[in-house]
Amino acid sequence: MDIWQQFLDGLFATGWLEFVAVVFGIASVMLSRVENIWVYPTGIVNTSIYIYLCIMGGLYAESGVNFYYTVMSMIGWVLWSKKNEGQVVLHISKSTDIEWRNSLVFFALCWGLLYFILKKFTDSTVPLADGFAAASAYTAMWLMARKKLENWIWWGITNVASIPLYFIKGYVFTSFQYLVFLVLSVLGYIEWRRRIRSSNTLIAS
């Protein structure tokens, strides 16, 4: 009951800037699920706001990750927009075993580096959790820009880690946003897997 009351208090205390960021964030994930290019401009609005909010809340790794989101959104926007003779060049695909290994190595390196930086050079009170959430998000965004199915798995991990992280920092509405993101990541994985299977069926026929 205390947590529920804290959630309600935080929800009603949500500032307009956080509210705008959450709306654009949810819109971005929903657009990503249906492979719509507008995932990137809406995402850029969301991440730009969160760079500021995370710095104010002392979530330095999350601020860095939102800067990374912004840069990768621009890159992803270009990659998703590429066409050859009117046809989209980049298609949804599964990661190979080597790509899975590279993703895990990338995640581990990011987490270790972020934890060291947060612990050594900042006043972060949650360096391990902040670093973990940021590292999984780095991995998810990297895979999303390349339209890899597994980006949804990494987003799911990021969402699970971010729900309590933002809650304890007082960004209750953002914590709720990540709960919505968690549901959308499952739906996104199902939708992208269906699209892969439909594409493979068309090729086979």
Do the domain assignments include residue 7? no
pLDDT in the model for residue 87: 76
The SS3 call for residue 148 is strand
| Average pLDDT along the chain | 86
State pLDDT tens for residues 92-120. Answer: 999 999 999 999 999 999 999 999 998 88
* Position 8 pLDDT exceeds 90: no
State pLDDT tens for residues 143-199. Answer: 999 999 999 999 999 999 999 888 887 777 778 888 989 999 999 999 999 999 888
Domain that holds residue 21: 15-80+93-204
Do the domain assignments include residue 4? no
* Position 1 pLDDT exceeds 60: no
Do the domain assignments include residue 193? yes
Cβ neighbours of residue 181 closer than 8 Å, sequence gap 6 or more: 25, 26, 29, 155, 159, 162
pLDDT in the model for residue 3: 59
Task: Return the structure tokens found at 34.
Answer: 């249906």
* Angle (deg, nearest 10), helices 60-81 and 127-145: 0
Quick one: CA dihedral 33, 190, 156, 176, positive or negative? positive
Do the domain assignments include residue 85? no
> pTM of the predicted model, to two decimals?
0.81
pLDDT in the model for residue 44: 94
- Could you give the angle at the alpha carbon of 51 between the alpha carbons of 46 and 55, nearest 5°? 145
pLDDT in the model for residue 159: 94
Number of domains in the chain: 1
The whole-angstrom separation of Cα 76 and Cα 85 is 20
State pLDDT tens for residues 115-140. Answer: 999 888 888 788 898 889 989 999 99
Do the domain assignments include residue 135? yes
The whole-angstrom separation of Cα 96 and Cα 181 is 26
pLDDT in the model for residue 65: 79
Do the domain assignments include residue 9? no
Contact 189, 153 (CB under 8 A): yes
pLDDT in the model for residue 102: 96
Residue 35 DSSP code: T
Query: What DSSP string describes 62-93?
Result: HHHHHHHHHHHHHHHHHHHH-EETTEES---B
Do the domain assignments include residue 40? yes
Do the domain assignments include residue 54? yes
